[in-house]
Amino acid sequence: MIAVILATASAVVYGTADFFGGLATRRSRVLAVVALSQLAGLALILALLPALPGAFDGRAVLWGLGAGLSGAAGLVLFYRSLATGVMSVVAPTTAVTSAALPVGFGLLQGERPEATALLGVALGLGAVLLISQDRSGSASGSASSVLTALAAGAGFGGFFILLAMASAESGLWPLAGARVSSISLVLLLALATRRALKPASGSLGVIVAAGVLDMAANVLYLLAQRQGMLSLVAVLVSLYPASTLLLARRVLGERLHAIQLAGVACALGAVALIAVA
């Protein structure tokens, strides 16, 4: 039950972070938002390291470095797929892939959830697919954009898997390693493309909020994964688009489509099924 609570909280915080990140990208360049939010997250994790138990573990940090590279690569590929495809294809493809990979990995590692929990996993994957639908674009996309979206999902899924490989005794050190490697990759990309990382006036606060919330969600995920099965935790965490949608509806007045509302209902059902298993 503790893992379910932590994973669900992680999904809510991830979705809130994405909401703030979306607001920030309306004012500043995407690369500036990503770089500065990552730096804010690094500041938070460095502040939390002495507060939460855990010993420095070089092997765990290496897993974290790999996770950071995987997550950052997934983010770059995700934005690239959005530039060459349509959201209605790219978003669900990326989301379901990022959720399905940790589930498959967990099952291959010997995890055996109860039948009720497996039903919740199936419902959760369906919820991710429905919630991520965007009817503002056409329903088709190029083969290259779909392949890029699959690769982006693999990057995000790899982030979850690689973090799970670090020992529980390492505390939050894997997240510190992940953030160092992701920041390094983003800065190298900015140098290679000669992109300025200066945010637009008035957007820094929103960017910092996005970065701090994203790292807080990472911490909740790591704690949840250490309390429960990766195959269950990853699905619950991947329901984060639900909170983004609800915030957009509440704050910005954006209209939710019936298929997305059905996805939110499926998400609630998935959480309930996994919780009672």
Residues 6+ apart with CB under 8 A from 73: 155, 185
- What is the pLDDT at residue 81? 73
Q: What pLDDT is recorded for position 39?
A: 94
Residues of the chain with pLDDT under 70: 82-89, 134-142, 277
Q: ∠ CA 78-84-89 to the nearest 5 degrees?
A: 65
pLDDT of residue 85: 61
Q: Which residue, 159, 30, 9, is CA-closest to 98?
A: 159
**Structural domains in the chain (count):** 1
pLDDT of residue 82: 61
**Would you state the pLDDT for residue 136?**
56
Q: Would you state the pLDDT for residue 76? A: 81
Residue-range definition of the domain harbouring residue 229 = 2-276
Amino acid present at 126? G
Q: Compute how many other C-beta atoms are within 10 angstroms of the C-beta atom of residue 227.
A: 16
- What pLDDT was estimated at residue 164? 93
Look at residue 24 in the predicted model and tell me its pLDDT. 86
Q: How many CB atoms lie within 10 A of CB 275?
A: 17
Greatest extent of the chain over all pairs of C-alpha atoms, in Å = 52
Residue 240, pLDDT score: 85
The model carries a pTM of 0.87
SS3 56: coil
| CA 203 to the chain's CA centroid | 22
